[in-house]
């Protein structure tokens, strides 16, 4: 799944760095807000660079010492300009670099206390009034942890006859003229730590205005299983068609060092091939590549245990009944323990292969060591190409077409060497 926007109250990031790194990679996230990180300001740069080294990151430490909101995005895909920020929200103008879409995104992390939340509602009213050309001129999305619910059925706990917090939240939503985007996944997005009788509530939302529904009519939201947090990630898919780039097969040291590597290569190379010398060479190379792909799939994946245990945890969390039983909650704790152990084992293996001494910070240097094993894979990707007229091409198809034109054209490299 490719996710356009994501908001995740991670409830403490220092002990979940490897988990969040894995979450970003697995879901192909390109724009994400992390809430309630509990990371000190001086550690922001080092930890954010481990989670997503290529991302551009910003925060709201200026408005709260705890940096309650982290915002990160892939600058190769998105342009982001901050419009307004505070301790409880960060609002940005967001557009894709290919020009296919633009919108306003407000990331919310509301205070727990009713009185402390009231300035947030006023800030949202002001943002709506200050948006260029009126409140309905731009698609607007509000996502995150509102720390309040709209309806009585959105909590499993006792509800007073008149819940003031719920009333004020409803008034805010009505004034802003926003609504929940069509969503799937988990209904209750937060659960406390009580194993015997847990309290569950819908605190995280993805809300949009009418213009959003008009422009992004195929968009949808989903609330994923909690993972290692007590909140569900809120993810949003714009419904836009994207180019899908295939990653080339690459051989890394862990595969070369495998005991069967030389035998696999030799066996594939010795397959009899007839034809011209060039055809024989290219065919033998294809045979070797095919054999190494099979070896890599069977024994070369260092992260299979992490993938397996993570999926087992998420699948179990998705299937838990509401309300969940004590035996289910105990089983969940066991699966969380197995997943954490797999993450730790992965980190140890990557440390051994990277052969780099590194001062451990938190539980997750996996991103750093994984990057060491992979070398410079990211720097070799071609994401844009400028033609002779100065036009920059970003889609996979246009880059391929432009590259062929530069090579085979009248003044291209191919023509100079008699190719084509």
Cα–Cα distance, 402 to 376 (Å, whole number): 25
163 and 266 assigned to the same domain? no
Cα–Cα distance, 58 to 41 (Å, whole number): 11
Last residue of a domain, one of 262, 278, 300: 300
264 and 231 assigned to the same domain? no
Tokens 């069967």 map to which residue? Answer: 260
339: tokens are 């997943």
> pLDDT (tens digit, 9 = 90+) per residue, 187-202?
999 999 888 888 999 9
Asked whether residue 228 is assigned to any structural domain, the reply reads yes
Rounded (to 5) percent helix, strand, coil in the chain: 40, 20, 40
**Dihedral-angle region of residue 375 (phi above 0 means left; psi in -120 to 50 means alpha; beta otherwise):** left
233: tokens are 């990630």
pLDDT at position 418 over 70: no
- Residue 350: pLDDT band by 50, 70, 90 thresholds? low
- Residue 296: pLDDT band by 50, 70, 90 thresholds? confident
pLDDT of residue 401: 74
Q: Which residues of 87-122 are buried (b: 16+ CB within 10 A; e: fewer)?
A: bbbbbbbbebebeebebbbbbbbbbeeeeebeebbe
132 and 174 assigned to the same domain? yes
pLDDT of residue 392: 76
What's the structural domain count of the chain? Answer: 3
9 and 148 assigned to the same domain? yes
- Residue 302: pLDDT band by 50, 70, 90 thresholds? low
Average pLDDT, the chain: 82
pLDDT at position 237 over 80: yes
φ/ψ (deg, to 5) at 66 = -90, 0
56 and 85 assigned to the same domain? yes
196 and 295 assigned to the same domain? no
Scanning 177-227, the segments in alpha helix (DSSP H) are: 210-215
Cα–Cα distance, 146 to 173 (Å, whole number): 11
Last residue of a domain, one of 188, 211, 237: 237
**What mean pLDDT comes out for the span 172-181?**
94
The three-point CA angle 17-237-89 to 5° equals 60
276: tokens are 């011209």
The whole domain housing 78 covers 5-237
> pLDDT (tens digit, 9 = 90+) per residue, 65-102?
988 999 999 999 999 999 999 999 999 999 999 888 89
Asked whether residue 109 is assigned to any structural domain, the reply reads yes
Cα–Cα distance, 1 to 23 (Å, whole number): 11
Least confident of 9-23, 82-96, 287-301, 359-373: 359-373
pLDDT of residue 280: 86
The three-point CA angle 352-356-358 to 5° equals 105
Asked whether residue 248 is assigned to any structural domain, the reply reads no
pLDDT of residue 2: 65
DSSP assignment, residue 41? Answer: G
Last residue of a domain, one of 209, 237, 265: 237
Share of the chain above pLDDT 90, in %: 52
232 and 260 assigned to the same domain? no
Asked whether residue 123 is assigned to any structural domain, the reply reads yes
pLDDT of residue 366: 55
pLDDT of residue 413: 39
Asked whether residue 311 is assigned to any structural domain, the reply reads no
202 and 288 assigned to the same domain? no
257 and 226 assigned to the same domain? no
182 and 268 assigned to the same domain? no
103: CB partners within 8 A, 6+ apart:
93, 94, 95, 138, 139, 140, 141, 212, 215, 216
Asked whether residue 37 is assigned to any structural domain, the reply reads yes
122 and 51 assigned to the same domain? yes
Asked whether residue 339 is assigned to any structural domain, the reply reads no
User: What is the CATH classification number for the domain harbouring 57?
Assistant: 3.60.10.10
pTM reported for the whole predicted model: 0.63
- Residue 406: pLDDT band by 50, 70, 90 thresholds? low
Asked whether residue 177 is assigned to any structural domain, the reply reads yes
191 and 163 assigned to the same domain? yes
> pLDDT (tens digit, 9 = 90+) per residue, 147-166?
999 998 999 977 765 588 99
């Amino acid at each position: 799944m490719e996710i356009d926007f994501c908001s995740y109250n991670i409830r403490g990031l220092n002990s979940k760095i490897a988990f969040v790194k894995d979450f970003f990679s697995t879901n192909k996230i390109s724009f994400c807000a992390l809430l309630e990180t509990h990371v000190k300001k001086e550690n922001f740069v080092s930890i954010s660079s481990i989670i997503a080294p290529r991302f551009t990151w910003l925060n709201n430490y200026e408005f709260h010492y705890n940096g309650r909101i982290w915002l990160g995005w892939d600058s190769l895909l998105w342009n982001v300009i901050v419009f307004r920020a505070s301790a409880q929200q960060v609002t940005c103008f967001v557009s894709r670099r290919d020009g296919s879409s633009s919108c306003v995104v407000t990331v919310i992390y509301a205070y727990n206390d009713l009185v402390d939340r009231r300035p947030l509602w006023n800030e949202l009213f002001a943002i709506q009034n200050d948006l260029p050309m009126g409140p309905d001129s731009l698609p607007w999305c509000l996502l995150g942890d509102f720390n309040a619910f709209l309806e009585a059925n959105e909590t499993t706990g006792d509800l007073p006859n008149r819940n003031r917090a719920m009333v004020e939240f409803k008034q805010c939503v009505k004034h802003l003229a926003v609504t929940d985007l069509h969503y799937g996944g988990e209904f209750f997005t937060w659960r406390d730590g009580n194993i015997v009788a847990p309290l569950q509530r819908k605190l995280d939302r993805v809300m949009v205005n009418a213009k959003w529904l008009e422009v992004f009519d195929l968009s949808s939201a989903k609330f994923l299983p909690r993972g290692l947090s007590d909140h569900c990630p809120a993810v949003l898919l714009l419904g836009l068609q994207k180019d899908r780039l295939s990653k080339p097969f690459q051989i890394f040291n862990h595969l070369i060092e495998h005991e069967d590597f030389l035998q696999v290569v030799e066996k594939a190379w010795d397959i009899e091939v007839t034809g011209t010398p060039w055809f024989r060479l290219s065919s033998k190379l294809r045979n070797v590549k095919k054999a190494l792909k099979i070896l890599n799939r069977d024994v070369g994946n260092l992260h299979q245990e992490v993938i397996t245990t993570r999926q087992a945890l998420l699948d179990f969390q998705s299937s838990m009944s509401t309300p969940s039983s004590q035996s289910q909650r105990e089983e969940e704790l066991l699966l969380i323990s197995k997943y954490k152990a797999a993450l730790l084992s992965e980190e140890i293996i990557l440390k051994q292969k990277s052969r780099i001494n590194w001062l451990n910070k938190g539980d997750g240097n996996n991103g750093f060591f994984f990057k060491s094993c992979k070398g410079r894979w990211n720097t070799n990707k071609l994401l844009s190409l400028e033609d002779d007229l100065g036009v920059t091409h970003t889609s996979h198809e246009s880059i391929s077409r432009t590259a062929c034109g530069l090579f085979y054209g009248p003044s291209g490299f191919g023509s100079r060497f008699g190719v084509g």
